[in-house]
Amino acid sequence: MDYKQLIIRGISYSQTQSGAYALLLEHEETHIKLPVVIGNFEAQSISLGLEKDIHPPRPLTHDLFTKFIVSTNYELVSVIIYQIVDGVFFSNINFKNKETEEELILDARTSDAVAMAVRFDAPIFTTQQVLNEAGILLELEDVSKEEQSFSETVQTEDNLKSLSMEELQKLLDDAVKEEDYDTALEIQEEIKRRKKKID
């Protein structure tokens, strides 16, 4: 089957469902977006998987499963979003044993599948039919705005800008210790913006 590769364009607070988030996937060639409604925990897990440099003091469920996969000598090869029924996406996670080349396919919620894919830097695919049924074509003026709207934290953007790098780092450490990953990601973005200016 001719699968279409998707990239993660951002995570934003869902405007339609309270307490939920929208994971925005995009087909690079056609720029068709695939919005997937996910829960708060999965949104945090995907964001942390993308960040790479924020490490929770205790492993999240997806981190634990990642360690299990690696310890059994498997690797996550790809994620395929193969179907949508009544607004619900169905996905498979494809694994391969590094020694025996044995393949293993597991059914998974799309949010969990993506959270695992980002930890292995594995590609995410879908079918043309899913794109036809659920895809939307919209222009994103500023992707960073989509990503920034992921968390509603006590630290506003203006507040963060007024703090020194040392104060930001301390806030980041405290947020990670308290497992407040929404705030941690917001602070991390501000630190990255400043480092880019310095470079």
Tell me the CA end-to-end span of the chain in Å, nearest whole number: 45
Quote the CA–CA distance of 45 and 186 in Å, as a whole number: 14
Indicate whether 85 and 129 sit together in one domain. Answer: yes
Strands 21-27 and 88-97: unpaired
Longest dimension (CA), the chain: 55
Indicate whether 95 and 57 sit together in one domain. Answer: yes
Instruction: Tell me how far the alpha carbon of residue 188 is from its chain's centroid.
Output: 15
Count of structural domains within the chain: 2
pLDDT digits (tens, 9 = 90+) for 115-136: 999 999 999 999 999 999 888 8
- Domain extent, residue 191, equals 157-197
pLDDT digits (tens, 9 = 90+) for 177-192: 776 666 777 787 788 7
Domain of residue 32, CATH code? 3.10.690.10
Res 92: pLDDT: 97
Quote the CA–CA distance of 97 and 104 in Å, as a whole number: 8
Indicate whether 8 and 103 sit together in one domain. Answer: yes
DSSP string computed for 87-141: TEEEEEEEEEETTT--EEEEEEEHHHHHHHHHHHT--EEE-HHHHHHH-EE---S
Element (H, E) at 193: helix 181-198
